[in-house]
Structure 1
């Protein structure tokens, strides 16, 4: 049953030779890897306005110059990550750049930040998508967590089916969102030009007494949440069709162009309409209602906005498993993250991402505003380290035109560092958990790496000196009576060696005498050792006996404990048997020089 359900949800297994068919074209990659960045249009302007309105409605005109500053930073990031793509075509983004140029510890900081960021991406996207739905249908507000968890489950299953299949399905709503937002912007601009907008808004340049530089910087840093996801393309270069780096660079430029246009368009409309942030009605929802009324076009915009916000998480589902693979390849994450599943994706990374993001959504009760600061800090740390790493690279290599490239990365590094610091100082009470969690993640990386290095050192052999040691074999078979299961186990043991000992534990002398008499009558050609247990324990006497045998024969023989075990016809029968064998096996695992083997006996009824 579990196998059939898996095939229904995930699809048929794919051959390793089909891996090339899983590579993405530019259009599919734009949908899969840009959905996070493009979806941030739905809340980027809103985050700016939330900060500005604290100084009064007259301060909302500052959203326009702040939005232009965000666009400037977007341009710098696009140019910078385009350079990263051609410099590191194997992918890995900030992790590889920082590790290569700034050292392993810094690389792990970037990698750990990105992993945390991708988990937050899924949590934020699903929460923001729920916001869009509850804005259109307020009655669903109390079910926000359930809606978000359902979407995370859907995306996890879709990505387990393979990157190409998920791209084919998910590309449609992404492009529908882009079309819907452009229709909204064009309609809104047309309405503004024709005088259809009558909102009274403060003119650009109006003096506002209580607006400080600190407030503007805080609003700018909040607006930069619209840039999250820009780095995903440089992380996932191996997912592109060849020539991978050229296709990745072209996709990055397309994403930047579309994102910049939509972001400034929404910011302008929000200003012209005099939109104020509303916890239960998003800025895009208010703009769509003011432009189209609450008719079919409004619900169409809200529908595709909700979809893109949910599907923004798909960027993380594409990038997280690849980054986890690279960290695992460098022995900083479990080897399980290097394994491709039935559909050629890194299934363990996908499942891990889905589980942890679901935990976050539940813990924060699906409130986007509580998650975005964590999300933004998680992405701007790698932004800063990536820029700094590229600066060091240009200083080392000094290739043709390196001064211009170095200048771009320097401006980007200083800007992203300033944004990171602003987030830390202005929203420390919301982001402090990142600074607790990140050191734990990095410490875990080092512990995993140390373990793998120790294991490699312990298992490594000298080809010239180390040879297999040939010993004899002593097999100990614990028996509970004379049954077909015991006969089956003894038959197998005697096929391996003549040195077989059966061990029986009795609780009183009569019990032991009966067993010895039956064994003598049966005469299987195997010596029976009977042990008396005064405290009704089966495990302890057997363990003491095995330790004695091990001590006497360690130099000459391998000790193998052969444990008979029932294999039941129905799964629920299993709980009625095998408790003693399971306990014995658990105890024996701690014995250094004892081999544990199981002889299954399949029951027919």
Structure 2
């Protein structure tokens, strides 16, 4: 992306927080009455300093991680596995709440302009989340003028609002307008001020987005990303400080039924077109901010799945090249949170601050360790910036956790704890399975020669015609080459028409077999499956789907090390799709060799507990469902049982 496109696309989450961050700050201070509101400017200045410090810290992160450095990656690389998981928990809590808070704040902007909809914010908000779900499952991406327009419109609207307000205030000598009479319900003290600081700091959400997306920039990516981040921090500080200044000068205080931005827009523009434009731009940029989470949440979940901390189904890309399962999980979680809190932004803010600043703290702490280890050019300056960001982020995290514990922060902290427990248990299970599957020289007998079916050899001696038919079946390489030459198939078109006599075989002698064994890697389960297929004394073809040429070459080398005893075909699927290439290839074989009965034999990991089943891919069921319409296709499995850290030696077929 060019910087002019990347700025609005990647800054939508951060800049849109101006719609609720200042209001969250004032909503706490107003509890202290007039004395409480007097702290709005000092607290806002502290938040501006925090924005500047964290922004400079992420500039160092971009320089150190030019290929993208999110909190999970940085914390894992420099602090270890557990801090990385805690950072991931904070990030994922942040993304869920980004959707819920953005939708609730967007609905508040809409109901401020159209009060008649205030009673329907929950169903309308859920409908918005459903629309986001459907759009992202269809492959909507944040790119181009379509996604840049709402952010630029919001920037123009807020700058115009502040500009008109300052012009009006200049006419009266910048004398603040008296605010409505306030009745203090809480004494002004350190606790109140710190709560306001933690709430207002939610205006910083989304600062990390640019450091995550460095590879998306035009060359030189890291330099363009740092420039874009600087522009974003400058705009964020300007919009935030301008909004706070206007609330102070106009005497605006939070009230139910209308947002602070709506009140300011009414004062500056009246109820005309500019007011409608401001509210519409606010609602649209908040919607875009919610959509930002749909890019980041599934990506972090896929990284966790890659590292065996989440079910591997989250590595799977859908037909539209989106992480469909992660998108669905995010939508369900955000909808549940939104409904549970009745779409109330003020109630959601305490949960928001904990996850955001937990991730910030661990990311910046990881960068401190990174610079201390590297000690390259300018490392002291970079370490100082990141240490300042880490300390200030930790201060906000601790403040939010303590002061807002009873208001909902306990739920965010509990969520992080549960997430850590679940991910470590998942990792332990995958480690146990990997140990059970690991090849052991004393367990695997490597064949001394190429495997060939004995039935075919016997037939060759007894009957030349039968031998010719068997040789035709054994020569599967010709069939697979013909399938490859046919080019990619449209698997959505369905199989060829099946005639009435498509399956005429009624005796064993009439059936010509070909066994196809899909393999993800060479381990005990796949070896057992290959042994089972070869024991049937019929031709066998091993089939591997690889996400890249490098992975394909690694598998080929492992296959040669084993001895290359069976024909092997490798399909490169760069988008990590597994099932569709397998289906397409089997259909190709079937159309090239309709005389063969093709048996797809799949290794299957069988676990003792039902809750472990979701951790393993239901490949057999998906293939069976997809290939059922084709004649002469059989799908079967060879189970490999995992129980209490070891495998049951004698599996059976299903």
Mapping for residues 453-492 of structure 1, pairs under 5 Å: 453-461=431-439, 465-467=444-446, 491=507
Superposed displacement of residue 278, structure 1: 0.9
Picking from 67, 73, 78, the partner of 2:55 is 78
Hey, what does 1:437 align to over in structure 2? Answer: 415
Following the alignment from structure 1 to structure 2, what is the Cα–Cα distance between the partners of residues 165 and 100? Answer: 28
Distance 2:319 2:11 in 1: 26
| Alignment-derived partner of residue 318 in structure 2 | 341
Find the counterpart in structure 2 of residue 380 from structure 1.
357
Task: Spell out the pairing of 1:273-288 with structure 2 (5 A cutoff).
Answer: 273-288=250-265
Specify the SS of the correspondent of 1:328.
Answer: helix
CA contact (8 A) 1:126 1:148 kept: yes
Preserved CA contact (<8 Å) 2:61 2:69: no
Contact in 2 for aligned 1:241/1:247 (Cα 8 Å): yes
Match for residue 265 of structure 1 among 219, 234, 242: 242
More deviation in 189-198 or 75-84? Answer: 189-198
Of 213, 220, 230, which residue of structure 2 is paired with 1:236? Answer: 213
Q: For residues 115 and 440 of structure 2, what CA distance do their matches in structure 1 show? A: 70
1:332 Cα shift? Answer: 1.7
Q: Tell me the TM-score normalised to structure 1 length.
A: 0.72
Matched, 1:159 2:175: no
CA distance in 2, matches of 1:36, 1:145: 22
Asked whether 1:495 is paired with 2:511, we answer: yes
What's 1:31 paired with?
8
In the other structure, the counterpart of 2:306 is 329
SS in 1 for 2:252: coil
The reply to whether residue 425 of structure 1 matches residue 402 of structure 2 is yes
TM-aligned CA distance change 1:61 to 1:91, over 3 Å: same
Residue 461 of structure 1 aligns to a residue in which SS? coil
Which residue of the other structure, out of 38, 41, 45, is the alignment partner of 1:64? 41
* Paired position in structure 1 for 2:496: none
SS of residue in 2 equivalent to 1:594: coil
Q: What is the CA deviation profile of residues 67-122 of structure 1, one whole-angstrom value per residue up to 9, with x for unaligned ones?
A: 11111110111110111111112224111111111111001100121012111111
Contact 1:63 1:267 in 2 (8 A): yes
State the Cα distance separating 1:148 from its structure 2 match: 1.5
More off after superposition, 301-310 vs 87-96: 87-96
Distance in 2 of aligned mates of 1:96 and 1:459: 28
1:349-402 superposed Cα distances (whole Å, 9 cap, x missing partner)? 333322321222122221111211111111100111112111122222222322
The range that moved more, 453-462 or 324-333, is 453-462
Matched, 1:593 2:651: yes
1:198, CA displacement in angstroms? Answer: 7.2
Q: Residues 445-466 of structure 1, C-alpha deviation per residue, up to 9 Å, x if partnerless?
A: 2222233333333334358954
CA distance in 1, matches of 2:399, 2:437: 49
Match of 2:273 among 296, 310, 313: 296
Alpha-carbon distance in 2 for matches of 1:174, 1:349: 26
* More moved, 384-393 vs 158-167: 158-167
Pair 1:494–1:62, CA change in 2 (3 A): same
Match of 2:190 among 202, 210, 213: 213
Q: Assess if the C-alpha contact under 8 Å between 1:32 and 1:314 holds in 2.
A: no
Q: Measure how far apart 1:421 and its partner are.
A: 1.2
Q: Deviations over 1:217-275 (max 9, x none)?
A: 22111110101111122123333344332222222111111111000000000001111
Deviation by residue 1:176-218 (Cα, 9 ceiling, x = unmatched)? 111111111111111111129875448xxxxxx9422222222
Contact 2:176 2:248 in 1 (8 A): no
The CA distance in 2 between the partners of 1:428 and 1:302, in whole Å, is 32
Residue 348 (structure 2) aligns with: 371
2:153 maps to: 176
Long gaps (5+) in structure 1: 1-23, 203-208, 474-483, 498-552, 563-573, 575-584, 597-605
CA contact (8 A) 1:159 1:166 kept: no
Distance 1:455 1:240, change over 3 A: farther
Q: When the two structures are superposed, what TM-score results if normalisation uses the length of structure 2?
A: 0.67
- Residue deviations 1:307-353, cap 9 Å, x none? 11222112212222222232222222233333333443433333332
In the TM superposition, residue 51 of structure 1 has moved relative to its aligned partner by: 1.1
3-state secondary structure, aligned to 1:40: helix
2:308 match: secondary structure: coil
* Structure 2: unaligned runs, 5 residues or longer: 180-185, 456-499, 514-531, 538-598, 600-624, 626-635, 642-647
Question: Could you say which structure has the larger radius of gyration?
Answer: 1
Distance 1:234 1:411 in 2: 18
Q: Is the 8 A contact 1:132 1:282 kept in 2?
A: yes
Count of residues paired in the alignment = 486
Kept in 2, the 8 Å contact 1:159–1:350? The answer is yes
Aligned-residue offset at 1:136? 1.1
Provide the rounded CA distance (Å) in 2 between the counterparts of 1:366 and 1:492: 66
Helix, strand or coil at the partner of 1:281: coil
Q: Aligned-residue CA RMSD in angstroms?
A: 3.7
Work out whether residues 128 and 310 of structure 1, in 8 Å CA contact, stay in contact via their aligned partners in 2.
no
Q: Which has the higher contact order (CA 8 A, sep 6+)?
A: 1
Cα 1:30–1:343, aligned 2, differ >3 Å: closer, same or farther? farther
Partner secondary structure for residue 326 of structure 2: helix
